[in-house]
Amino acid sequence: MVVNLVDIAREVGLDVSVVSRALNPGRVPHPVKKETRELIIATAKRLGYRPNRQAAFLKKGSAATLMCYVPDIGHRLVADLVYGISEEAADADYPVNFFFGRTSDDFCRFYQTLRKVPHAAAICYSPPPAKTAAWRQGGVRFTLPTMKADSRKEILGYHHRRKTLLLLNLESNLDLGEEHEIGVIPRIEIDEECGGRKVAEHFLESGCTRFFYGTGKQTYPLRLEGYFAALRERGIEAQPLTRTIIRKMAKSDERCGIFVTTDFLAIDLIGILREEHIPIGKKVLISGYDDISTSAEIRPSLTTVHPPTRQEGRLAVQLVQKCIAGEEIGIQRLEPLLMIRETSGVITNKRENLQGMEE
């Protein structure tokens, strides 16, 4: 049985209009007394009431729609994000339109479309970068992108006009020191510093005595800062990984931990260590970051940090509904998970072998 406003009004002994105002807060101070509103909300939950968001927006002359911009990348994390948004939107009775893009032009076209949709709310992944900012900290060179001026203008314009915008994962993809105006917009961040810290703690618990790190052109500073911080608390400094160090590892008896800031680079490193005949998971432990699909399938399987993007997608829909209701959101953070696998010494279940190739 579908519970509606009339059922709730009958249960609490109030007029339907009062129940409607209590369950659909607007941008102005709410006219329903706090105690009355709490009673109505509690009754609605007890009866199993689900608000018909579509109907509420149709009364204003337009369908309710979530507009989502996500990267056009064939990546498990993007797929999980899309799944999470879709699942929660279906539960909340919101239709969703997804826009996939890689360039600043794609991003601006998304916002141009968004402006034409009345009563829409937007969930937007970090915009494509225009240039890279670089700086040194503690002897380490960090890099992060900044966005194009037209992308910045579109984001700020939409936020100031409608206040129904939620951004995702800015800290790992933008230099927020340069983009301080963007940093005030409500957003969800996956705590990358926490992820780096978990890697260092795992290496320490596994008996490593020397610690290294590897990066690509984009260094992901927060991932490294968490790794460095956990080690410095023990009086240990991590060193950048080089070919010379790898060759020395082959002759050393010390147990080493290597944190690489992406899984793609970590998988490349596995190949390099194999060339030097270094036993991975025994003498040398490796962790990547991102938990791409390949990480669990390669041999040895890669220890890595898993960003909970499916959970992030579900949370994004919940928070954007609060934006629609005029509530303050701020910054919400999610904790990543450390997936411990064979490159850090854990033997996983034996996988299926190609027939005829069994030993």
Q: Is a pLDDT exceeding 90 seen at residue 340?
A: yes
Residues 6+ apart with CB under 8 A from 335: 191, 194, 308
β partners of residue 140: 137
Per-residue pLDDT reduced to its tens digit, 276-329: 999 999 899 999 999 999 999 999 999 999 999 999 999 999 999 888 777 788
Per-residue pLDDT reduced to its tens digit, 226-272: 999 999 999 999 999 999 999 999 888 899 999 999 999 999 999 99
Contact 313, 88 (CB under 8 A): yes
Q: What percent of the chain has pLDDT over 90?
A: 47
What pLDDT does 57 receive?
52
Q: What is the full DSSP assignment across 125-191?
A: EPPPEEEEEEEEETTEEEEEEEE-HHHHHHHHHHHHHH--EEEE--TTTS-TTT-TTGGGS-EEEE-
Residue with token string 């036993």: 279
More confident residue, 24 or 311: 311
More confident residue, 356 or 209: 209
Q: Is a pLDDT exceeding 80 seen at residue 351?
A: no
Quote the CA–CA distance of 196 and 171 in Å, as a whole number: 14
Q: How many helices (H) and strands (E) does the chain have?
A: 13, 14
Which structure tokens are listed for 29? 């101070």
Quote the CA–CA distance of 157 and 112 in Å, as a whole number: 11
More confident residue, 50 or 213: 213
What pLDDT does 135 receive?
40
Quote the CA–CA distance of 223 and 29 in Å, as a whole number: 42
CA quadruple 179, 183, 185, 186: dihedral, nearest 10: 150
Per-residue pLDDT reduced to its tens digit, 160-218: 877 888 999 888 776 655 556 777 889 999 999 999 999 999 999 999 999 999 998 87
Quote the CA–CA distance of 97 and 64 in Å, as a whole number: 11
- For the whole model, what pTM was predicted? 0.77
What pLDDT does 131 receive?
52
Alpha helices in the chain, H assignment, sequence order: 5-12, 16-23, 34-47, 53-58, 76-91, 104-115, 149-162, 192-205, 221-232, 243-249, 263-275, 293-297, 309-324
Quote the CA–CA distance of 9 and 39 in Å, as a whole number: 11
Q: Is a pLDDT exceeding 60 seen at residue 133?
A: no
Per-residue pLDDT reduced to its tens digit, 79-93: 999 999 999 999 888
Burial of 326 (0-12, 13-18, 19+ CB in 10 A): middle
What pLDDT does 123 receive?
93
What pLDDT does 256 receive?
96
Quote the CA–CA distance of 23 and 30 in Å, as a whole number: 10
Q: Is a pLDDT exceeding 60 seen at residue 121?
A: yes
Contact 83, 68 (CB under 8 A): no
What pLDDT does 128 receive?
65
What pLDDT does 296 receive?
93
More confident residue, 130 or 69: 69
CA quadruple 314, 156, 159, 66: dihedral, nearest 10: -40
Q: Is a pLDDT exceeding 90 seen at residue 353?
A: no
Please name each of the domains of the chain with its CATH number.
Answer: 1-29 (no CATH), 65-191+308-335 (3.40.50.2300), 193-307+340-344 (3.40.50.2300)
CA quadruple 226, 131, 181, 306: dihedral, nearest 10: -30
Confidence of residue 157 (pLDDT cuts 50, 70, 90): confident
Per-residue pLDDT reduced to its tens digit, 317-331: 999 988 877 778 889
Q: Is a pLDDT exceeding 60 seen at residue 116?
A: yes
